[in-house]
Structure 1
Amino acid sequence: MISSMKKIVRGHQQKHLRKYEKIVQEINQYENEMITVTDEGLKAKTAQFKERLKAGETLNTITPEAFAVVREATKRVLGLRAFDVQLIGGLTISRGNVAEMGTGEGKTLVATLPSYVHALEGKGVHVVTVNEYLAKRDYEMIGQIHEFLGLKVGLNESKLSTEGKQEAYQADITYGVGSEFGFDYLRDHMTTDIKNMVQRPFHYAIIDEIDSVLIDEAKTPLVIAGKSPVQPNLYYICAKMARSFKEEEDYTYDRIARSVNLNDQGISKVERAFGIHNLYDLEHHMLYHFVLQALRAHVIYHRDVDYIIDDGDLKLVDMFTGRIMEGRTLGDGLHQAIEAKEDLEITQENKTQATITIQNYFRMYPALSGMTGTAKTEEEEFQTLYGMDVIQVPPHKTNIRKDYEDVIFETTHEKYSAVAKKVKILSKKGQPVIVGTTSITQSETVASYLDEMELEYELLNAKSIEHEVQLISIAGQKGQVTIATNMAGRGTDIMLDEGVKELGGLFILGTERHESRRIDNQLRGRSGRQGDPGETQLYLSLEDDIVKRFGREDIDEIAPVLKKDQQGVVENKEARILLDKTQEMSENSNFSIREYNLKLDNVIYDQRQVIYDWRNKALNTKDPLTLWVDSLQNTVSDLIKEHTPVRDVPEDWHLNQFKETLTLMVPPAVQLDFSNIEEANEIKDQVQMSLDHYIHHLQPLIEKRGVQNQARKVLLNVIDAYWLKHLEDMSRLKEGINLRTYGQEDPLRAYNKEGFNLFSSTYAQIERDASIYLTRILKPLTSQSKGVKNHA
């Protein structure tokens, strides 16, 4: 079965390559023609291609000539000519796949080809790198080619101002780090002014070291967070005020919806206490919010029912189990409001303001592609999660690097001792060596063994990261010894000193299997660039972390029959099989975790799209008031259903509470009379007439710019406040979701279901609060609440 699958994959690979090789022949046919074209003529080609696309041609039809133009421009600007295999790499990327190309094959030059072609559509191309150093390097070097051809090139740096970022994103091709693109997306959807948005709609992205970005960084979401700006004393002041409020006199309490709202007298009381004119002015939005939270803390939340006080700490109680929910807190300042109510010390609140995984950020691009030296081992993941094939591009020069068989030891001490001896031999010979390690601790352990042998070396790990490029660039000098963690210095070419090739080239000495073969291959790929000689070997032990994690039981079986030679090298073939097995288990485990986490994140991804689309409508529309009216109508409809449940007889409907809440949103409803009502439809008809009457009286306000701006700000403020609270709620749900397996429940299904319920509630709350809040603001501008007849 596995053999059959490999044949299918190989056949698929060859099919792609044959197709690309034919296109390369077309590109080469243009080469002599391009040599005769003037610089201005080459630049004019860009405008011609754009016109041809507008006339109906496709990117595929113009690609051969466009690639030939870029190849010629590269020769004139940088003095470099793209090889045929680089053209194949460019075609692979241009068609939305991953090009696997070995170290030194010129991936940076390859990216010039598809980035130019896709930039011709005028919608922006993002070229993504793993750090700002590489982004700036490529922008300054490769950007010259595109500017020579008349395109605008931008660099998206974290230090840029809003205006600087807008300029970078308006360029035809924009270079930057993946995380910075993601953070800009989040910030764009936090702004309350469309003028501060920086990104254009997504179009096409090329990701350099795509495996690093989409796989290695997939575990860590992008999060914009900040400390709550509220001073603790405000919670205490609001708590004191909430104690003075009286139901009906200062506020209304809807026990069905578990919601409280200040009435006119309560609002006046707050305004007098704080010496302000209008609590509903946007500058007092946070004050209003925390007064309301204090009121909720006093009216809705009860000690020894919803929470307990344990040694001065507020602890929530699970209303279903009655158990304390250790470590859980209420969000949006409500937890602090209850602490103030109980006169406890206020805990500092951290707020997640926006978040997205790097996976789901890049999945928003209609066209995505990338390149790397190592991706084939993760092809299934690229196909499953991103719909991309991995095409292994043939090398320009045959790879003559020697990859020796792994050397296995029983203990880590034996392994590190052997590593030090091997380094001493290589150093004495003058052959440069990079000792690859998986962690800072391991790199320092290796260093201590080299110290015992009085060997000189350069140590490159996170503590010396500022010297990364410098240290890795000299790693190919004669006799140089470099200890490096993982892929430190990735993207930097290691040039061999004179005479090093004759010594065997750069020697890569790995000290442990990584969690995937891909990372091991990246380490090996540091040696033997572009046909240079090189040697690689891994020194392993049966005490390595990966063995402890995935092969502990198997080790117990091998131990009694272990055979070692005079140097302490394990000879049992079972040991090699075990190490292969543990790495495969690690790969499968990590893939499953990434796939599972992506499925979890897809839930909030869909919700984020709904909220961000709503925000964008509020930001972009010239008539946010009408957008608010839609929310008002939805809220009123929900309110009717909530207070006239089908399961209850009319006598049990809470119509007085319904009218109180309704009047906060639809002032004319104060005139409604629900006595002698027997059917919900009668209520619906009365309310709809009152609502229509109110909306009619709002029509003149549509022309008022100030009112529209207020409506826009109210919508955005309420959407943002509840979205932040929802993120916290979803985070708490996610934290405990895996415990559902103990109750024979599918965690993913439970997260989907409960996440949907949370979001539905959040959406309804946004519409309800926006309805109440804006009605308050508009009240002085309308007179329809006075003298309006009952429309029953």
Structure 2
Amino acid sequence: MQRLKNRAQRFLQRPGTTVDLAPLQKVLPEIEALEDELKELDDAALTERAAEATQVAEICALGREAARRALDERPYDVQLLGVLAMLGGSVAEMATGEGKTLTAAIAAYGHVRSNNGPVHVLTVNDYLARRDAEWMEPVYKLLGLSVGWVTESSTPEERRAAYASDVTYASVSEAGFDYLRDQLVTDVDARVQGALATAIVDEADSILIDEARVPMVLAGAVAGEHDPVHVAAGVVKGLRSGRHYEIADDGRSVAFTSTGLAVVERKLGGIDLYDDEHVEQLSAVNVALHAHALLHRDVDYIVRNGAVELVDEMRGRVAQRRRWPDGLQAAVEAKEGLDATAEGEVLGTITVQAYIALYPTVCGMTATAVLVGEQLREYFKLEVAVIPPNTPCIRVDEPDRIYATRQEKEDALVAEIALSHEKGRPVLVGTLDVKESESLAKALDAAGIPANVLNAKNDDEEAAIIAEAGKFGAVTVSTQMAGRGVDIRLGGSDQSDRERVAELGGLYVLGGGRHHSRRVDDQLRGRAGRQGDPGASAFFVSLEDDLIQRNAPDAIPASPRMNFDGLVTDEQVDYAVEHAQRVSEGVQHEIHRNTWRYSVVIEQQRKALSERRERVLTSDVTAEMLKTRSSEKAEELVELDEELLPRVSRSIALYHIDRLWAEHLAELSEVREGVHLRALGRLDPLDEFHRAAVPAFNALIPAIEERTIETFEENEFDKDWAPDDKTLVRPSATWTYLVHDNPFGSELDRLVAAVGRRLSAGGNN
């Protein structure tokens, strides 16, 4: 019976169970019963009442009344269901345009009143953090709450003030960076963030699943850093695919041919690259080859203002402050003839997943959560509450149109756009990458169709472009729509042509290909049919698309049935496209799970060391140790000045904790990269990683104590001693960045992916 139930759930694309809304719906009459009473209160009385509310129904009723007065918007019952779901610690799935921003604001108020504050509303970017905070501020003010926001440009003082508010809006990366910086302060008063209590996660599937394994990094300058990759980039430049190197079918790995290896070794002076003394050069050459052969400008990255900027695959926009790991960033910079940007020594790091887990209370909202319901439960113990739309969706989702080649797909797309444009029906086209968006824009221009283009190169203009995408006659070409944060209203932002556009069928959304996740496709579809508007969607797919070539090339029949224009009409091909997408999702899930297994031990160690550091920072525990281990010198300092020993001991111990943790992280990084080789000897790589990581950490605490005593005994201290003395040299500069997923994965990740594809293919035979 259970097996039948699971099969039915998979068929309905609703993995696992979702939250039962019946108990939440029973609260709605209680909320409505309070409405007339609250309307009679003046603003001051409403604020006073809001400061005393403790019951859920009253909290929701006050939130509804505050929104009505402050924004002239009365939240729908379904929005209040979303509030109730988030107050219950769930992820609310609410369709695009259903008012998630206001729903989150009322939920934030509810968590503060439930003593779950302060509340951090975590967004996908700085733009949304500031916009939503300023937009909702009048609501919070009426409810008697303070609100602040943090962006990359915020000063430490501005950050401290923002986090002191009842509700703080910040991108998840900025909040994570502030946490990392706070972990390295040498003075309690230098902290900015304060205690973590409740996180409301916007675009929850994107942040909690897609970005979960992304490490946030605090780095410091290292003296004498050198860059062998630039030399290697010059060596591989000009090498040709098929002759000098061969690319794997999945496009994720590349290897030199014997001819290519001979050319490279000759260019490097006739050396043997596989000799032990040339290990560093071999590594640099391989990284340079990956950058040369597998990473493509305007697909994986763009070059803007003299810098390489990574493109976020899930959102089609620049991934702010992200770097590829393991020298790959420097290799791409070298490939493009740019100076290498410093990577620095890692002083502290935490994954998005581990950072979110630090909040005792987590909830969230998104338009597409059900498809990752099992993962949300597995990693965060979060359930999904599917909130129905206020007005039923009447959007027409047409079947995919599959073409043999990319060119035939683009030609068909242009023809379809031309048909709608001729009538004045607005069209939104979602493309797979920057290069494709620009190619389509050129084709439209050649056909005499003006189009607005939104991609990673002009994402600062996104709000204005998206807001007018529903205007009569508008054609908008955009990379992925997930997290765009702006509603598309029929007739444009002023809705002047609303009725005319509605009569034409509303917004027509066209996908330029299936993405690697059904959720991204659904985010794009969801831009049409907003709040009961008419609309339609269709996806144009090519058998040459990377998704199919990488994940299901063997599922395509040798001679599929097709029309003269290249349109494929073969059920087996329809299946292959769906199969390719599911394989891709499965592979990403397995890589996520595999990566997290390694991160768990590092996170446990980070927490343990963080607790020790906190004791050192906030007590005299180190001074007491020195009185025991180096009593004579400790007594001298006490006689000189009672405050000198605690100050000196604290500074020395904090320095060595931070220094040894940085060294430990570097060691674990090397172990992690090399551990896959042990799999060749039939050893479990995870066991081998633990076998190296655990003893290394166990040796850390004694080493910190020994170095602290050594530094204390070897140096002289007087009343004027300061911690920036030359004996405790901290990095001259620090900076933050996110480590973008290596697009090829580690060797182990690639092994996991390959096995995942084989198992998936076998399970569908």
Deviation (angstroms), 1:365: 0.6
1:559 matched residue in structure 2? 558
Q: Does 2:551 match 1:550? A: yes
SS of 1:48 mapped into structure 2: coil
Residues paired across the two proteins, number: 609
For residues 183-332 of structure 1, the aligned pairs below 5 Å read 183-229=177-223, 324=279
Distance (whole Å) between structure 1 residues aligned to residue 18 and residue 377 of structure 2? 17
Rounded Cα–Cα distance in structure 1 between residues aligned with 2:345 and 2:480: 33
Q: 2:485 aligns with which of 488, 491, 499?
A: 491
| Residues 1:145 and 1:780: Cα distance change in structure 2 (over 3 Å) | closer
Asked if the contact 1:437–1:486 (Cα under 8 Å) also holds between the matched residues in 2, the reply is: yes
Say yes or no: does 1:443 pair with 2:441: no
Task: Say whether residues 1:704 and 2:623 are aligned partners.
Answer: no
Q: Counterpart in 2 of 1:20? A: 24
- How much has 1:775 moved relative to structure 2? 2.8
- Distance in 1 (CA, whole Å) between partners of 2:342 and 2:101 is 46
Q: 1:122 to 1:22 in 2, by over 3 A?
A: closer
Aligned residue in 2 for 1:612: 610
**Cα deviations by residue, 1:395-422 (Å, 9 ceiling, x for unpaired):** 0001000000111111111111111111
d(CA) in 2 for partners of 1:452, 1:101: 39
1:313-392 alignment runs, 5 A limit: 324=279, 350-392=344-386
- Taking only aligned residues, the RMSD between alpha carbons, in angstroms, comes to 2.9
CA contact (8 A) 1:469 1:489 kept: no
Q: CA deviation at 1:697?
A: 5.4
- TM-score when normalising by structure 2: 0.75
Contact preservation (8 Å) 1:127, 1:208? yes
- Structure 1 residue 547: deviation in Å? 0.6
Q: 2:47 corresponds to which letter in structure 1?
A: K
Distance 1:230 1:578 in 2: 52
Equivalent residue, structure 2, for 1:465: 459
Paired residue for 1:743, among 672, 675, 681? Answer: 681
Is 1:728 the counterpart of 2:666? The answer is yes
Q: Describe how 1:471-486 pairs up with structure 2 within 5 A.
A: 471-486=465-480
Q: Give structure 1 stretches of 5+ with no counterpart.
A: 50-58, 233-309, 330-346, 633-665, 667-692, 782-792
Return closer, same or farther for 1:172/1:521 CA change in 2, 3 Å cut-off.
same
Q: Secondary structure at the match of 1:142?
A: helix
Paired residue secondary structure (2:508): strand
Q: Trace 1:325-724 onto structure 2 (pairs within 5 A).
A: 350-487=344-481, 490-497=484-491, 498=497, 499-555=500-556, 558-560=557-559, 562-622=560-620, 624-626=622-624, 704-724=642-662
Which residue matches 1:78? Answer: 71
Is the CA contact 2:15–2:374 (under 8 Å) kept in the aligned structure 1? Answer: no
Instruction: Please tell me the residue identity of whatever aligns with 2:554.
Output: E
SS at match of 1:417: helix
- More displaced stretch, 82-91 vs 440-449: 440-449
Alpha-carbon distance, 1:737 to partner:
2.0
Query: Take 2:433 and 2:372, find their aligned partners in 1: how far apart are those partners?
Result: 22
Q: CA deviation at 1:74?
A: 1.3
Conserved 8 A contact 2:652-2:711? yes
Which residue, out of 18, 29, 33, partners 1:29?
Answer: 33
C-alpha deviation, 1:559, in angstroms: 1.7
How far off its partner does 1:777 sit? 3.9
Aligned letter for 1:522? Q
Alignment match of 2:152 (pick from 158, 164, 171): 158
| Shift of residue 323, structure 1, vs aligned partner | 9.6
One-letter identity of the residue aligned with 1:151:
L
Q: Deviations over 1:111-160 (max 9, x none)?
A: 12210011122731001111222111211121211122211111122222
On the 8 A contact 1:702/1:708 being kept in 2, the answer is no
SS at match of 1:133: helix
How much has 1:745 moved relative to structure 2?
1.3
Rounded to whole Å, the distance in 1 between the matches of 2:116 and 2:445 is 57
Instruction: Measure the CA separation in 2 of the matches of 1:197 and 1:481.
Output: 48
Distance 1:489 1:601 in 2: 27
Name the CA distance, whole Å, in 1 between partners of 2:15 and 2:423: 44
Task: Letter of the 1:731 partner, please give it.
Answer: S
Residue pair 2:427, 2:509 contacting (<8 A) in 1 also: yes
- SS of structure 2 residue aligned to 1:565: coil
Q: Could you report, residue by residue, the CA deviation over 1:221-260 in whole angstroms, capped at 9, with x for unpaired residues? A: 211224325699xxxxxxxxxxxxxxxxxxxxxxxxxxxx
1:757 corresponds to 2:761: no
Secondary structure of 2:349's partner?
strand
> 1:257-286: per-residue Cα shift (whole Å, max 9, x none)?
xxxxxxxxxxxxxxxxxxxxxxxxxxxxxx
Q: CA deviation at 1:505?
A: 0.6
Q: Distance in 1 between matches of 2:693 and 2:640?
A: 36
Q: CA deviation at 1:716?
A: 0.8
Q: SS of the residue aligned with 2:20?
A: helix
TM-score of the two chains, using structure 1 as the length reference: 0.72
Does the CA-based 8 Å contact 1:501-1:532 persist in structure 2? yes
Kindly tell me: are residues 75 and 743 of structure 1, through their superposed partners in 2, closer, same or farther at Cα, counting changes over 3 Å?
same
**CA deviation string 1:597-620 (max 9, x = no partner):** 112111211111122222221221
Counterpart-to-counterpart distance in 1, 2:216 and 2:677: 25
Aligned partner of 1:527: which letter?
A
Alpha-carbon separation, structure 2, partners of 1:231 and 1:455: 51
Which of residues 707, 713, 737 is equivalent to 1:775? Answer: 713
> Aligned partners of 1:146, 1:350: CA distance in 2, in Å?
41
1:94 aligns with 2:87: yes
In 1, Cα distance between equivalents of 2:666 and 2:159: 29
- 1:117: which partner in 2? 110
Deviation of 1:629 (Å): 6.0
Q: CA deviation at 1:167?
A: 1.1
Superposition deviation, residue 628 in structure 1: 5.2
Contact 1:128 1:178 in 2 (8 A): yes
Q: How much has 1:626 moved relative to structure 2?
A: 1.9
**Take 1:627 and 1:328, find their aligned partners in 2: how far apart are those partners?**
45
Q: Identity of aligned pairs, percent?
A: 35
Distance in structure 1 (CA, Å) of the matches to 2:200 and 2:660: 35
Letter in 2 for 1:576: D
State how far apart, in whole Å, the 2-side matches of 1:471 and 1:123 are: 36
CA separation of 1:195/1:217 partners in 2, compared to 1, >3 Å: closer, same or farther? same
- Code of the residue aligned with 2:528 in structure 1: it is S
The residue that corresponds to 1:289 in the other structure is none
Change (3 A) 1:11 1:407: closer
1:776: how far off?
Answer: 3.0
Q: What is the match of residue 5 of structure 1?
A: 6
Instruction: Give secondary structure in 2 for the equivalent of 1:559.
Output: coil
Specify every segment of 5 or more residues in structure 2 that has no aligned partner in the other structure, as ranges: 227-267, 285-340, 492-496, 720-765
Contact 1:328 1:732 in 2 (8 A): no
Shift of 1:534: 0.5
1:185 is displaced (CA, Å) by 0.3
Residue range with higher mean Cα deviation, 573-582 or 214-223: 214-223
Distance 1:619 1:39, change over 3 A: same
Task: Work out the CA distance in 2 between the residues paired with 1:530 and 1:629.
Answer: 70
1:666-691 superposed Cα distances (whole Å, 9 cap, x missing partner): 5xxxxxxxxxxxxxxxxxxxxxxxxx
How far is 1:448 from its partner?
Answer: 3.2
Higher relative CO (CA 8 A, sep ≥ 6), structure 1 or 2?
Answer: 2
Separation of aligned partners in 1, 2:142 and 2:625: 47
Q: Is the 8 A contact 1:517 1:583 kept in 2?
A: yes
Q: Give the partner amino acid of 1:708.
A: P
How far apart are the structure 2 equivalents of 1:36 and 1:400? 38
Q: CA deviation at 1:351?
A: 1.2
CA shift, 1:623, in A, is: 5.0
Q: 2:19·2:385 contact (CA, 8 Å) conserved in 1?
A: no
Whether the 8 Å CA contact 2:508–2:535 is kept in 1: the answer is yes
Structure 1 SS opposite 2:27: helix
Give the direction of change, closer, same or farther, for the CA distance of 1:530–1:575 in structure 2 (3 Å limit): same
Query: Whose helix proportion is higher, 1 or 2?
Result: 1
Query: Could you tell me which amino acid in structure 2 is paired with residue 626 of structure 1?
Result: E
What residue in structure 1 maps to residue 166 of structure 2?
A: 172
Which of the residues 57, 60, 80 maps onto 1:64?
57
